[in-house]
Every structure is written in structure tokens, then in C-alpha cells.
Amino acid sequence: MSKEKNIMKKNLKKEKLCSSAFDLFISKGINNTAIDDIVKRAGVAKGTFYLYFKDKYDIINKIILQKSRQIFDEAMDATKKSHIIEFDEMCIFFVEYVINYFKDNKLMLKLINKNFSWSLYKIAVSRLDEHDEVEETVTFFIEKLIERGMSGEEAEITLFLIVELVGSVSYNCIINNEPTDIDSIKPILFKKILTMIA
């Protein structure tokens, strides 16, 4: 077997494991899903799982990273297509896109909930080719914040705080309906975000 075919075969197995794990985490929950369930659904041997992942939490982290990246890619793509020029409006459009995504994908929100900002941070510092689009998004927002007079560190932390705020508020309002529903809280959330980036 050629080296390229071997790499493709390995990538396919890894993707099958991730896809199977994601489906099970969404349908059964993380705590009710065992590695045995994942490998059975993927149709691979248990030893194959350990070629790619250390344990169940390793695959969870990789899935959260992958799904968070997907959300950021989609949100930035939609923001670009909106042709909005003003940075404040771009931020609100981007955030609203993410919130609406979570409204339409509650199970996804449950899976990634508190780890959304961690994923952003992980992507930002990884500098891996596979995260180019997300890194570009992160860099864009950080550069705009620096243009507004923030230091690089303050801009990074501000972006982290905004993502943390959006993730936590979305989770509590969409999943728990606390302290109120997400549509009622959005105007206040947007106001606070605009204050943070001013």
C-alpha cells in the first residue's frame, strides 16, 4: 500500500471514530458513552481507538475543538458576506450568528457549553494549518481591538472574555431559560459587548 493511501486510510478511521463519538455524545450523553460504544459504532477494533486518542476525554476535546472551529468559520463567512464595514456592527453580527446557531443546535451547545472559549484559545495558540481560517478570524478581531488602543494582551483577553460571555449566556438562556430567554437578553448582551470593545 502506498504511503498516501495508508495516510488516507488512517484519517478515515480517525474521522469515523470522531463521527461515531459525536453521534453517541449527542444522543446518549458523554457520561453514558463508553469507548466500547464508540469503537463498536465506528466498526473498528478497540486498539485502533488508542492509536489516535489517549482516552475518552481526548476525543471529547478534539471534537469540541473541531465543532467550535466549524461555528467560527461559518460565523466569519456569514459576517464577510454581510458586507458590514463598521467594526461594532461586525462584532454584533458575528455574535448574533453564533447565538442563533446555538438556538438551532441545542445539543451542540450542550456538548461544547463551557469549553467554547477554551477552544478559541486552543485554536489561537496552536498555529496549525488546519485552523488557518479561525486563526485569521481571531487575528482580525485582535488587530481591530489593538487599533482601538488596546495592547495585544488586552485585546486577546477581551476577545476571550467576549467568547466566554457569549458561550455562558447562550448556555444558561437557551438550555436553562435563566435568567430569561436568549432573545430578551440579547440587547443587554450586545450593549455590554459594545462597551468591552469601545
pLDDT in tens, the chain (198 residues): 577 777 777 788 899 999 999 999 988 888 899 999 999 999 999 999 999 999 998 998 888 888 888 888 899 999 999 999 999 999 999 999 999 999 999 988 888 875 666 556 555 555 445 556 667 888 889 999 999 999 999 998 898 899 889 999 999 999 999 999 999 999 999 999 999 999
Long-range pairs for 122-130: beta carbons < 8 A, 24 or more residues apart: 122/65, 123/65, 123/68, 123/69, 123/72, 124/156
Report the candidate in 32, 38, 29, 28 with the shortest Cα–Cα distance to residue 59. Answer: 38
Domains of the chain and CATH, by start: 1-53 (1.10.10.60), 56-197 (1.10.357)
Q: Report CA 152 to chain centroid distance, whole Å.
A: 22
Q: Which three cell numbers stand for residue 7?
A: 495516510
Q: Report CA 158 to chain centroid distance, whole Å.
A: 17
Peptide bond between residue 179 and the one before it cis (omega within 30 degrees of 0)? yes
